[in-house]
Amino acid sequence: MIFAMADAPWHLHLAMTALGIGCSPALMGPYYIFAREYPPASFGMLAGVLVGFGSLGNILGASPLVWVIEAAGWRQTLWGLAVVTLMVAALVLAAVRDPAQLGAGHPQGSIGQILRLRALWFIVPLFGVNYAVTAAIRGLWAAPWLEQVHGADATQIGRVTLAMGLAMVAGSFAVGPAARLAGSARRATMLFSAVMIVTLAVMWQAPALPLATVTALLVVLGFFGSAYPLLMAHGRSFLPPHLVGRGMTFLNMISIGGVGVMQFASRPVYAAAQGAYPPAQAFAMLWLFFLIPLVIGFLLYFLTPEAAAHD
């Protein structure tokens, strides 16, 4: 509503801040309910389905939203979104119930207790870079790479990034079956991360491949870069009941924080490479920038044990 009424830049800053605060429980609230109300073996599948539907929202927020804005105007569109959001909030209020409170025998949780869980120490680095790679490449770098190195026009760029986005949606829905086939969320995470590493390595070594091949690489990266629900399922298994809420929120903060850091840090890396190399090699250096922390996180993840889920 603030956005719809905005007529000064600070109104937009206020609206974006309110949107960030408002959407923050949209993922963690359901994750907490899943963790408390459903069997641990179901968590990865439920988490993946939730992220999959959320990612579909990202797709609707691209070209379909542009079409609506062109037809109705941006202020009217935002008013419409405000009404839809209020309707969703009313449905949540009417239909969703909190899990039963823990008994008095459970201690109070704290961030300090989470940090003392040694099993999380070697999962956190992969949390910080796994989703950050695909989010930064699709949201920030795919379009200039396709344009500057492969000569793609706006229509081609839109199709390729849409394909990558749909692959990310499909990957989120696939993580539950993948965990069952692999035998655990940890093994499925290793598989997904290994494919990401190989794909990024190809992009690094051969950044000027034909457009069709590059499209396939981005689709593979999008699909196998959707291991966030698997990581969350594995991390959740280390959390005792009184730390589930704070623990999952902490892990999510690491993941989302990694997205911001990687996007911010990648700009000066590309700027420096752009000044020293032709476009293809400049992007090769950028892909190497994403590849190195992903490999480090992957190797450290090997030190994370399989965890028995808490009752």
Weakest mean pLDDT among 18-27, 129-138, 165-174, 202-211: 18-27
**Is 234 buried (19+), middle (13-18) or exposed (0-12) by CB count in 10 A?**
buried
Torsion angle of C-alpha atoms 212, 216, 218, 222, degrees rounded to 10: 150
Q: What is the pLDDT of residue 66?
A: 79
Instruction: State whether the Cα torsion 43-49-53-58 is positive or negative.
Output: positive
Q: Which residue type, as a one-letter code, is found at position 242?
A: H
> Where residue 55 falls among pLDDT bands split at 50, 70, 90?
confident
Q: What is the pLDDT of residue 290?
A: 97
Neighbouring CB atoms inside 10 A of 38's CB total 12
Please state, in angstroms and rounded to a whole number, the distance separating the CA atoms of residues 232 and 219.
23
Provide the residue count of the chain.
311
Q: Is the pLDDT of residue 310 over 70?
A: no
In this predicted model, what pLDDT tens digit does every residue of 125-135 receive, in sequence order?
999 999 999 99
> Where residue 104 falls among pLDDT bands split at 50, 70, 90?
low
In this predicted model, what pLDDT tens digit does every residue of 157-193 receive, in sequence order?
888 988 999 999 999 999 999 999 999 999 999 999 9
Taking the model in full, what pTM does it have?
A: 0.86
Q: What is the pLDDT of residue 76?
A: 95
Q: Is the pLDDT of residue 105 over 70?
A: no
Nearest alpha carbon to residue 78 among 30, 165, 18, 135: 18
Nearest alpha carbon to residue 119 among 29, 247, 259, 257: 247
Specify which of 136-150, 264-278, 286-300 reaches the highest per-range mean pLDDT: 286-300
